[in-house]
Amino acid sequence: MNEQRVLITAGAGGIGRAIAQAFADKGAKVFVCDIDVQGLEALKREVRGVQATLCNIAIRSDIEKMVGQAVKALGGLDVLVNNAGIAGPTAPVEQFNPDDWEKVVQVNLNGTFNVTRLAIPHLKKSPAGVIINMSSVAGRFGYPNRSVYSTTKWGLIGFTKTLAMELGGDGIRVNAILPGAVDGPRFQQVLEGRAKVSGRTLEEEAQAAMATQSIKHLVDPRHIADLAVFLASESGSSISGQMLPIDCDMQHT
């Protein structure tokens, strides 16, 4: 693990930061990109050895520059974690702004595609290349009033399965992690969006969210990070093309 070279998109906060911390704790060389300048500065101060740069995953030229920077800084690439994604608004399809739809697709699907296609030639040079795509429980179920988010997260499943088939011969393993309700500010924003549409209170929406799970707590981002580290390790060397939920046994959205 101490020789792994890891690139994480959107790694300045939330799940991405937890993943960066976990890989760094194992001795990996970590490079992070994000649009959050303050978050990147805090990450560099607080997590020893992590390198970082500003990058908007919605802009192809930013991605092209960033991947080149990352590979140069790391001296190659062994692990790519495609964590960047945005949620988009909460609204039924007939009221959904097409511009908002395109913004989410641009980041969640097009951005992931562009980072990955540029990373693959470098991963092929690795003795054990790994790609981890961050999907969601919304990639397992329908997600009322969150159509574009669900659509893109389902799209990442197809992307993951296809990449695993294309790249297996090069020794590159590709898997997707599907978090459920994750503890942090983003889930609170989800609850606020649901409450706005449903007319229920935040507390009622939180109770409804827990009712869909057999384990009644939010997912700890550190546990998602631990799963990512495992998938990238030698212990995960026979796992590819898989969709791994970490969602407290959620039954529906």
- The per-residue pLDDT for range 108-131, each reduced to its tens digit, is 999 999 999 999 999 999 999 999
In a domain, 210, yes or no: no
CB atoms closer than 10 angstroms to residue 70:
29
**pLDDT confidence band for 193 (50 / 70 / 90):** confident
Q: For residue 2, what pLDDT is reported? A: 60
| pTM assigned to the model | 0.94
Q: For residue 246, what pLDDT is reported? A: 98
Compute the average pLDDT of residues 76-100.
Answer: 96
- Cross-strand partners of 8: 32, 81
What's the CA gap between 76 and 88, in Å, rounded?
34
Q: Look at residue 1 and tell me whether its pLDDT is greater than 70.
A: no
- Active-site entry in 23, 141, 149, 159: 149
Q: Look at residue 99 and tell me whether its pLDDT is greater than 60.
A: yes
In a domain, 126, yes or no: yes
What's the CA gap between 2 and 23, in Å, rounded?
9
Residue span of the structural domain in which 83 resides: 5-182+220-246
In a domain, 163, yes or no: yes
Q: For residue 197, what pLDDT is reported? A: 84
Q: Is 149 in the active site?
A: yes
% of the chain exceeding 90 in pLDDT: 85
Residue 29 is inside which H or E element, if any?
Answer: strand 29-34
What's the CA gap between 168 and 174, in Å, rounded?
8
Mean pLDDT of the chain, nearest integer: 95
Burial 40-55 (b: 16+ CB within 10 A, else e): beebeeebeebbbeeb
In a domain, 105, yes or no: yes
Let me know: does 31 contact 74? Beta carbons within 8 Å. Answer: yes
Looking up residue 30, the CATH number of its domain turns out to be 3.40.50.720
Cβ-proximal residues to 203 (8 Å cutoff; 6+ apart), any chain? none
Q: For residue 180, what pLDDT is reported? A: 94
- What is the domain count for the chain? 1
In a domain, 232, yes or no: yes
Most confidently predicted of 38-52, 178-192, 196-210: 38-52
In a domain, 204, yes or no: no
